[in-house]
A and B are shown apart, each in its own frame.
Chain A
């Protein structure tokens, strides 16, 4: 049995990592075509990301959008999660449910809705469009993580500090925020990474004026590709691993993902 378990785990791990190994190998190819096993060894496709200005600009666009939309999502989510938890307001709970909804739908529906909204408002291809769209689409993540964090705040702490004369604002700043902050950070990080990799909403809201990395990669895939894509994939995987390791370091990853303490 232990042998079967080990074998199964090994096959599962190989399955997950297989394509990554192939991409990584291809990214070190010397020649301008995609071959596996790779021919030769070079870092030129990594250098290309930073040397070729179009790839680098796309990377910068993606990073900027991801930072801005993750910040916006946390700012929208925080009061909703807080009011729903602290006062149990029915309105806040309804808003919470609405905020979760976009994430559950096939993204193409939200993408089309945003496209219709921004065209009828006369806002064509502005950078702010994709920032708002990503923030709304990914709002579910900070909502869930922040409310998980708030649930771990002991309500008797709040009562104690109120008895000592602290105002709501002071209670929020000194008691609640320090406990909830790591969870808010986790929500921010989830948004950041998913925004970085999101494709269809970005394409439909700004795709023809502001090029993000996933859009650029997809265009490259359709019209003859280069190994730069492979090196970018590796770069992205490293960014993702770094971000999630940070979450694991500063807050409780297994708990955020639904395990009990």
Chain B
């Protein structure tokens, strides 16, 4: 027949395989190898096996940073789901046209880089910027003041960054929700609010959990917001990795931190998947 064997079909995959192999697989191996490398005599590092970089991590300073990062990102995931879920539910009940318009706007928002989000919140929270002036106008504050750097500012900006993501992550499940379930619940006399809490939310629970995890991992990767809006004690693991790699040129320690970050993300994903009954 004219259909080629699976061998000839695979030939077409060679260029893609080479690209993915070299540029996805090799970087990972390099990170792992560098994280256990040993110092060389020239002051650089060379292949070998040593746990010294992980030992450096295992001090209270870095462990506290890791715990802070995890706690902050968990809180952000929770808050952004609370904000985004009711909206996404309403969105899926709109007509196709207004759904598309809303989605275009949310996508545009979502693709504004973290740099620009950080910038806009810096203005909003600055002494000359929006929120403080409004507080003065309505008489809640005597005179204008700066709200950065602070942990609250980091939290506010990261939640803002995460909300459009949450909407898009929840959208598939909510828009595929069987509408007859809602109708049935309404016919049986449940109020819209009751339907929302007893039908819609339980049915979409897997999506809520997987979106939460995705947002957690996503915000764990935030780099600019913590630096621009927070004090050094609000820096997350990702900021520390960047700092070590670019400004201290300490690749082995940056790699060790990256391995920790990877392990943290992977274990959260694993634990949540296990306890949510798998998906």
Contact = CB atoms under 8 A, between A and B. Distances in A.
A16 B86 contact: no
Interface in B135-173: 160, 163-164, 168, 171-173
A64 to B, nearest CB: 17
Interface in A100-136: 101-102, 104-117, 120, 132-133, 135-136
Contact of A253 (B4, B104, B115, B119): B104
Contacts of A214: 113, 115
Contacts of B278: none
B208 interface: no
A112 B241 contact: yes
B136 to A, nearest CB: 12
Contacts of A196: 111
A219 B94 CA distance: 42
Interface residues of B, number: 89
A162 B1 CA distance: 11
Interface string B162-200: 011000100111011000000000000000110000000
Given A36-B133, A108-B261, A217-B116, A260 B24 contact: no
B220 A106 contact: yes
A108 B221 contact: yes
Contacts of B24: 98-99, 101-102, 136
A109 B258 contact: yes
B120 A105 contact: no
Contacts of B114: 199
Contacts, number: 256
Contact of B90 (A5, A83, A110, A233): A5
Given A8-B86, A221-B115, A260 B20 contact: no
Nearest to B176: A260
Contacts of A105: 217, 221, 262, 265
A228 B126 CA distance: 17
A1 B152 CA distance: 32
B16 A95 contact: yes
A250 B106 CA distance: 18
Chain A facing B: main interface SS: helix
B81 interface: no
B9 A89 contact: yes
A99 to B, nearest CB: 6
Contact of A233 (B116, B175, B242): B116
B49 interface: no
A253 B103 contact: yes
A193 B220 CA distance: 22
A113 B31 contact: yes
B175 A200 contact: no
B248 interface: no
Contacts of A258: 171-173, 175-176
B13 interface: yes
B60 interface: no
Contacts of A80: 13, 16
A112 B255 contact: yes
A18 interface: yes
B271 interface: no
A168 B214 CA distance: 39
B94 to A, nearest CB: 10
Given A23-B119, A95-B16, A114-B23, A16 B129 contact: no
Given A257-B168, A257-B171, A110 B13 contact: no
B20 A95 contact: yes
B123 A99 contact: no
A226 B26 CA distance: 40
Given A109-B31, A241-B108, 20 more contacts: A16-B105, A18-B124, A19-B120, A34-B129, A87-B6, A87-B9, A89-B10, A95-B16, A104-B217, A106-B217, A108-B258, A108-B261, A109-B241, A112-B255, A116-B31, A199-B114, A232-B116, A237-B108, A244-B104, A254-B99
9 contacts: A9-B87, A19-B121, A91-B13, A105-B221, A108-B261, A136-B24, A168-B2, A197-B112, A244-B103
3 closest Cβ pairs, A-B complex: A113-B27, A258-B172, A106-B221
